[in-house]
């Protein structure tokens, strides 16, 4: 066997580590487990420590090496770093394409279509294939030398792969913080009890991290990079189109997003915009739009620039998901289980495509953490269908004489004490069903689509029915008459000042009342799992309701079950078992159930099914990494409802592993054992198909 010299061994380790980095960050196909990567890195560090002359500037050990600096040196960009014009509508995109057609006298336009990454633009300079300098955009002409910080980002190559690179190559792109890393960082910040400050959003986080004077701090921030353009090129040639250039950059070791595509004409661009828009919330990083770039580089040169923006590209923006506005009041909403949730009343603001006037503050801890006060200017976020939330306060704009907010001692609806149990984050109104707010929410939940599915019975109507004393409990819904509903509607309209006293309006109202009574009547024929879910037993979601219904088959058996027996049901732990048993032992709950059955609510009873059932029966599943579109608890619950056993560790018996982003050793182990691996998309697809 040939014994290698330290020099040879160091070179071999560097090649292996570079290859592993490229596989991981550029191809998205890791080839070695993290543990092995770390072991090789340590071996290389040891060789370099023993033989300092063997240490090279492009060695993967040299990513965090530089000492903190006092300030960043200025860098004059060889070619200015430009910005993009924005389009906010389809019509503006059409104008953009029309101007190009007119200038070029051509109709067949092909575009590179790309996500607009929401991070920070940087320029990376390579000479003879080695990374020599990296800079921020600055004012476009002059930026700051943040090379030491950029070296800490593992997806930025320190040395190019392949061959035939130009002698000088500047690559431009975006440094960003993946959402999973952002969440993880903030979790740690929250756990630090104020020692580490939480980051407001991934974009600010990326910018702030890159501007740290101490690269060791940057190294601890989970940053990543995507290339999307080239700057100066000397002593070498690049392909004739932008898309081919991007492929070339990928071969040279740069991460280029796999979402980048080509499209023909305005239709192709707009189709891409919609396609990416649908995926936006499920992506592992933030984007704020898409970018269209004319693909033909000769045509780009012909078109040139207006001011600082190219004529050949445009950013088509999604509606902003964050805006600033002011807090007019902080109120407390009481939920179905009494949870007192603080919410900010906001000066109306257009965000995420709708006008927002309320944003949740989640709980008192969150208000304290953010220190949101009445009068503050705040950043409000509304992403996709998620309820709007306050993510931060603009402290510079805080008016004088504001006061820290505190949870009120009494329920604003019923006046009962608001209590916070030891160790719980959630404060609750102690009024139970004597609190009108809890009653309204309980009835609203009972009637909701996935519960008893009473179409047309909104929260407002329930509030009014309760206020008029027509309804005290869910069973009262089945006693309502058409005249009760019309009376309620008339009083509600009167109060709102919208009483249309025409014959036609009267007819419409009667039809509305008839339909609602019919919907209430139709809801009586239901299923046991819907009924259980509708009861609103604390912690019992749809999946648990299904599991309970399958296990017991009949309500009587379930109502008599002791906690020990309840714990036999898949997915039911000791706390939930106690909640269920307590719920059914409560006399007023038993009475409500008896009244509902007397009112005619029925469902087919079935044989108890004690064996796990469903498409995943008998399969053990392991979840690892971060899932973006659903919480891990939810994924677990839904997999269990399909018969799976969800386990914490990978073994030969594991059926498959669901690997979210940043999956670590469990994924490695699964790969070693040759176990089937699902990504998040496959999981959500499967759940959708089988639920």
Positions annotated as catalytic residues are 116
Nearer to ligand IVH, 257 or 654 (CB): 257
Pick between residue 137 and residue 381 the one whose CB is nearest to ligand IVH.
137
Q: How far is the CB of 98 from ligand IVH (least distance, A)?
A: 20
Tokens of 639: 């997999």
Task: Answer yes or no whether residue 291 interacts with ligand IVH by CB under 6 A.
Answer: yes
Q: Which listed residue (116, 311, 382, 445) binds ligand IVH by CB under 6 A?
A: 116
When the beta carbons of 294 and 466 are compared against ligand IVH, the nearer one is 294
Rg for the chain (alpha carbons), in Å? 30
Minimum CB distance to ligand IVH, residue 524 (Å) = 55
CA-CA distance, 484 to 517, in Å (whole number)? 10
Residue 209: its H or E element? helix 202-210
Q: What 3-state DSSP class applies to 680?
A: helix
Q: Pick the piece of the chain touching ligand IVH (CB under 6 A) from 29-37, 111-119, 318-326, 369-377.
A: 111-119
Give helix 503-522 / helix 482-496 axis angle, nearest 10°: 130
Whether the CB-CB separation of 555 and 601 falls below 8 Å is answered with no
Spatial separation of the C-alpha atoms in residues 600 and 523, rounded to whole Å: 10
- Cβ pair 48, 59 in contact under 8 A: yes
We find the least distance from the C-beta atom of residue 120 to ligand IVH, in angstroms, to be 7
User: In this chain, which of 114, 286, 322, 476 binds ligand IVH, going by CB under 6 A?
Assistant: 114
Question: Which residue's beta carbon is nearest to the bound ligand IVH?
Answer: 121
Residue 294 Cβ, how far from ligand IVH at the closest point, in Å?
11
The token pair that represents 143 in the structure block: 């930026």
Kindly state the smallest distance separating residue 137's Cβ from ligand IVH, in Å.
6
**Residue numbers 314-353 binding ligand IVH by CB under 6 A:** 315
| Candidate residues 294, 313, 361, 390; the one interacting with ligand IVH per rule CB under 6 A | 313
CB of 557 to ligand IVH, least distance (A): 59
Give 174 or 389: the residue with its C-beta nearer to ligand IVH.
Answer: 174
Alpha helices in 351-419 (DSSP H): 364-370
What does the alpha-carbon distance between residue 279 and residue 292 come to, in Å, rounded to a whole number?
18
Q: Which is nearer to ligand IVH, 169 or 675 (CB)?
A: 169
- Pull the structure tokens for residue 100: 């190009």
Binding status of residue 311 toward ligand IVH by CB under 6 A: no
**Are the C-beta atoms of residues 170 and 229 closer than 8 Å to each other?**
no
Beta strands in 352-388 (DSSP E): 354-360, 377-381
Largest distance between two CA atoms of the chain: 101
Q: Which of residues 119-158 bind ligand IVH (CB under 6 A)?
A: 121, 137
Using the contact rule CB under 6 A, the part of the chain among 112-120, 155-163, 197-205, 477-485 near ligand IVH is 112-120
CB atoms within 10 A of CB 381: 21
Beta bridge partners of 620: 645
Render 611-631 in DSSP notation, one character per residue.
S--STTTT-EEEEESB-SSS-
- Using CB under 6 A as the binding rule, the residues of this chain from 228 to 287 that contact ligand IVH are 228-229
Total residues contacting ligand IVH (rule CB under 6 A)?
Answer: 15
Structure tokens at 293: 């770039």
Whether the CB-CB separation of 119 and 205 falls below 8 Å is answered with no
Alpha-helical runs (H) found in 116-158: 147-151
Which residue number, 225 or 552, has a Cβ lying nearer to ligand IVH?
A: 225
Q: Cα 391 from chain centroid?
A: 14
Instruction: In angstroms, give the least distance from the CB of 155 to ligand IVH.
Output: 15
Candidate ranges 1-9, 25-33, 187-195, 309-317; the one touching ligand IVH (CB under 6 A): 309-317
Nearer to ligand IVH (CB atom), residue 118 or residue 571: 118
Stretch of 307-315, 353-361, 431-439, 575-583 lying at the interface with ligand IVH (CB under 6 A): 307-315
Residue 104 sits at φ, ψ, to 5 deg, of -90, -15
Binding mask 507-546 for ligand IVH (x = CB under 6 A): ----------------------------------------
Applying CB under 6 A, the span of 18-26, 76-84, 348-356, 466-474 interacting with ligand IVH comes to: 76-84
* Shortest distance, position 63 Cβ to ligand IVH, whole Å: 23
Report yes or no: 431 and 398 within 8 Å, Cβ to Cβ.
Answer: no
For ligand IVH, give the closer residue by CB, 226 or 603. Answer: 226
- Closer residue to ligand IVH (CB): 300 or 523: 300
Shortest spacing between CB 156 and ligand IVH, in angstroms = 15
Phi, psi of 366 (to 5 degrees): -65, -40
Q: Quick one: 209 or 624, whose CB is closer to ligand IVH?
A: 209
- 117 binds ligand IVH per the rule CB under 6 A: yes
Regarding 310 and contact with ligand IVH (CB under 6 A), the answer is yes
111 or 533, CB closer to ligand IVH? Answer: 111
Q: Phi and psi dihedrals of 476, rounded to 5? A: -65, -20
Give the Cα separation of 607 and 550 in Å (integer).
Answer: 8
Q: Pick the closest to residue 164 from 276, 251, 277, 262 (CA basis).
A: 251
DSSP strand pairing (620-624 vs 645-647): parallel
Of the listed pieces 81-89, 157-165, 206-214, 603-611, which binds ligand IVH according to CB under 6 A?
Answer: 81-89
Q: Which residues contact 641 (CB under 8 A, 6 or more apart)?
A: 543, 546, 547, 571, 614, 691
CB 224 within 8 A of CB 25: yes
Least distance in Å: CB of 310 to ligand IVH? Answer: 5
8 Å CB contact between 459 and 370: no
* In the complex, least distance from residue 85 CB atom to ligand IVH, rounded to whole angstroms: 8
Q: How does DSSP classify residue 26?
A: I
Q: Which stretch binds ligand IVH (CB under 6 A): 115-123, 233-241, 564-572, 677-685?
A: 115-123
DSSP string, 438-488: HHHHHHHHHHSTTTT--TT--HHHHHHHHHTTS-SSGGGGGG--HHHHHHH
Specify whether the CB–CB gap between 417 and 410 falls below 8 A. yes
Residue 77 vs 530, nearer CB to ligand IVH: 77
Tell me: does residue 630 bind ligand IVH (CB under 6 A).
Answer: no
Task: Give the residue from 634, 640, 618, 421 showing the smallest Cα distance to 539.
Answer: 634
* CB 615, min distance to ligand IVH, A: 40
In the complex, the residues that contact ligand IVH under the rule CB under 6 A are 82-84, 114, 116-117, 121, 137, 174, 228-229, 291, 310, 313, 315
């Amino acid at each position: 066997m040939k014994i290698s010299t330290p020099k040879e061994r160091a070179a071999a380790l560097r090649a292996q580590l570079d290859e592993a980095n490229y596989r991981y960050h550029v191809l998205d196909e890791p080839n070695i487990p993290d543990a092995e990567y770390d072991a090789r890195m340590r071996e290389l560090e040891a060789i370099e420590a023993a033989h300092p002359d063997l240490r090279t500037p492009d060695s993967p050990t040299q990513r965090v090496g530089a000492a903190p600096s006092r300030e960043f040196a200025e860098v004059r960009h060889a070619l200015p770093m430009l910005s993009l014009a924005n389009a906010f509508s389809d019509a503006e995109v059409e104008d953009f394409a029309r101007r190009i057609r007119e200038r070029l006298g051509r109709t067949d336009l092909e575009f590179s279509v790309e996500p607009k990454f929401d991070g920070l633009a940087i320029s990376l300079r390579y000479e003879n294939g080695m990374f020599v300098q990296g800079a921020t955009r600055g004012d476009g002409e002059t930026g700051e030398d943040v090379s030491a910080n950029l070296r800490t980002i593992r997806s930025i190559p320190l040395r190019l792969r392949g061959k035939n690179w130009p002698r000088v190559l500047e690559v431009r792109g975006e440094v960003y913080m993946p959402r999973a890393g952002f969440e993880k960082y903030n979790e740690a910040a929250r756990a630090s009890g104020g020692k580490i400050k939480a980051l407001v959003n991934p974009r600010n986080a990326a910018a702030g991290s890159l501007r740290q004077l101490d690269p060791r701090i940057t190294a601890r921030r989970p940053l990543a990079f995507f290339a999307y353009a080239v700057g100066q090129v000397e002593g070498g040639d690049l392909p004739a189109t932008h898309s081919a250039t991007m492929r070339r950059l990928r071969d040279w070791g740069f991460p280029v997003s796999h979402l980048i595509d080509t499209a023909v004409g305005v239709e192709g661009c707009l189709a891409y915009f919609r396609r990416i828009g649908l995926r936006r919330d499920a992506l592992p990083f933030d984007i704020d739009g898409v970018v269209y770039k004319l693909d033909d580089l000769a045509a780009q040169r012909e078109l040139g620039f207006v001011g600082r923006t190219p004529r050949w590209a445009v950013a088509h923006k999604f509606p902003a998901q964050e805006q600033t506005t002011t807090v007019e009041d902080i109120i407390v909403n009481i939920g179905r289980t009494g949870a007192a949730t603080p919410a900010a009343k906001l000066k109306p603001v257009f965000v995420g495509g709708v006008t927002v006037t309320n944003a949740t503050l989640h709980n008192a801890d969150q208000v304290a953490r953010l220190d949101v006060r009445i009068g503050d200017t705040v950043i409000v976020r509304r992403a996709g269908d998620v309820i709007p939330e306050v993510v931060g306060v603009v402290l510079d704009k805080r008016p004088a004489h504001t006061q820290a907010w505190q949870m009120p001692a009494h329920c604003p609806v019923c006046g009962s004490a608001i209590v916070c149990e030891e160790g719980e984050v959630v404060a609750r109104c102690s009024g139970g069903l004597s609190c009108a707010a809890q009653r309204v929410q309980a009835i609203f939940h009972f009637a909701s689509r996935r519960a008893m599915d009473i179409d047309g019975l909104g929260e407002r109507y329930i509030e009014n029915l309760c206020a008029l004393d027509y309804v005290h409990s869910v069973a009262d819904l089945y006693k309502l008459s058409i005249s009760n509903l019309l009376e309620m509607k008339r009083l509600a309209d009167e109060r709102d000042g919208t009483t249309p006293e025409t014959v036609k309006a009267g007819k419409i109202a009667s039809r509305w009342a008839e339909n609602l009574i019919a919907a209430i009547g139709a809801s009586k024929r239901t299923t046991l799992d819907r009924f259980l879910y509708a009861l609103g037993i604390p912690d019992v979601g749809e999946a648990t309701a299904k599991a309970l219904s399958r296990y017991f088959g009949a309500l009587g058996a379930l109502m008599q079950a002791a906690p020990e027996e309840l714990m036999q049901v898949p997915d039911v732990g000791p706390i939930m078992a106690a909640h269920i048993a307590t719920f059914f032992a409560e006399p007023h709950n038993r009475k409500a159930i008896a009244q509902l059955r007397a009112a005619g609510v029925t469902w087919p009873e079935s044989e108890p099914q004690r064996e796990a059932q469903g498409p995943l029966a008998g399969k053990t599943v392991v979840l690892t990494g971060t899932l973006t579109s659903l919480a891990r608890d939810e994924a677990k619950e839904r997999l269990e409802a399909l018969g799976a056993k969800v386990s914490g560790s990978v073994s030969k018996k594991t059926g498959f592993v669901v690997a979210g982003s940043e999956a670590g050793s469990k994924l490695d182990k699964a790969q070693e054992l040759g176990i089937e691996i699902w990504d998040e998309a496959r999981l959500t697809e499967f759940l959708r198909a089988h639920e």
